[in-house]
Structure 1
Amino acid sequence: MTRAYALKCPPPRVTENKRPGQRLRDHGARRRENAWRAFQAAWQKPINEMRGTAEEFFHIRRNVLVLNRVQTARLLRVTKDSVLKWEHGVHPVPFYAFLALLLISESVHYKLANEQWKDWHFAERFDADQVLPAKKRKSIAYLIHRRSGACFSSDDLLFIHGQIQKLAQLESEALALRDKVDELVGENTHLREMFRVDGVTAELHGMRAQLDALLGRVNTATVLPLRAVEGKAA
């Protein structure tokens, strides 16, 4: 007997009406595009409202970034005279120069550029405490120490700051109580000295009373005549 094998043909492909360049499946492109548009709207409006004045440029350059004019000119690929004319109002400050200094001053790398922060960096991790699927979990930014592995979230830093404030308050209260205890100890010592002086005074008064009694006995004592010694003239 011969077996008849049925050929399994794939179902006919349904053609969708799509625009030129559009994919049949949306691999999250629209979602990312919407997120980007929301993010762009969040930062584009403040940037459009910025006006880089000479005073603001000088403040960021001198007080925030602590750069001299030569370093600023080397950073912006301009001459030192250009920076000088911008700050003195001879020429308007180009917006790209003001925005470059502003972005550098607000960047994470600049804020952690100090020698004391060389082993710290920011990283994003998923929140493991959320009871959600892995795809829907939100990421949390952590401040991580490279050597020890210690990591702190923004909530952890706020909690630690609150505990430090409570500790400072308790230390101030303990210092006030310590001063009060020292004051009470000094007062107690003074009272004990007074009691001790009163005891010595009472003892002296007692000795004086005994001496007065002895002197009274001597004054009221009977005087006995002495017998004359034989052989001597009376």
Structure 2
Amino acid sequence: MAKTKKPWPNKATSWSYYMQAIEPSGKEINEAFPEYHPMWVIQSQDKIVSGSHFKFMRTHLLQITRPECAAYLRVSASVIQSWENDRTPIPFMAFELLRLVYESVHFRLSHKNWQGWFIKPDGRLVCPERGNLSFSSDELAFIRETHAAKRFFEREYELLRDEIEPLRAELAELKSSNGNDGLLDELKAIEARLATLTAQVSSNKVVPINRSKSTQEVKAA
């Protein structure tokens, strides 16, 4: 009779366990997932279900109080205290729920600096202010280039304005003078120069940015 092969993760899954320093300790997990272990299964075995680990997740990772944790898990604060002191066993579902909350993108966006922000099902990051704007990953990738182009045009504008102001003063002085030889030619030359500089200030030049054709314009959510 052929020997039954012992359930064990495949090579790729075993490598993932090894690289993350996680020991696949659950026999039931190996039997239920005899080859490939999804990442959420691998991560579920990263922490031992204990009161100290539960308290660490609550206080250091999630940074929530015991009453807040109790309200979320729909138990009493005394139950949370009993779990954390190892007086009663911690249900794996409660332990795993806290871990999944910490790993979730919604928790990452719960920081006070990201109040109201959320990710839509289509993957766009939605801003709660400024008309509920939303951004794709491509658009956010070019934010730095956009600000660099803005600063470039602001500097160019300042330089051109500094160059125009003396010419305006000179033009006003020439207009107020009487009977200078060649005055008309000088005025025309200055006016032409002013027109050129003004056109540069108000031009619609755009700094080319090499961006993906799939990038969409920032639009309202």
**How would you bin the TM-score normalised by the shorter chain?**
0.3 to 0.5
TM-score normalised by structure 1 residue count:
0.38
Bigger radius of gyration, 1 or 2?
Answer: 1
Tell me: higher relative CO, structure 1 or 2? Use CA pairs within 8 A at least 6 residues apart.
Answer: 2
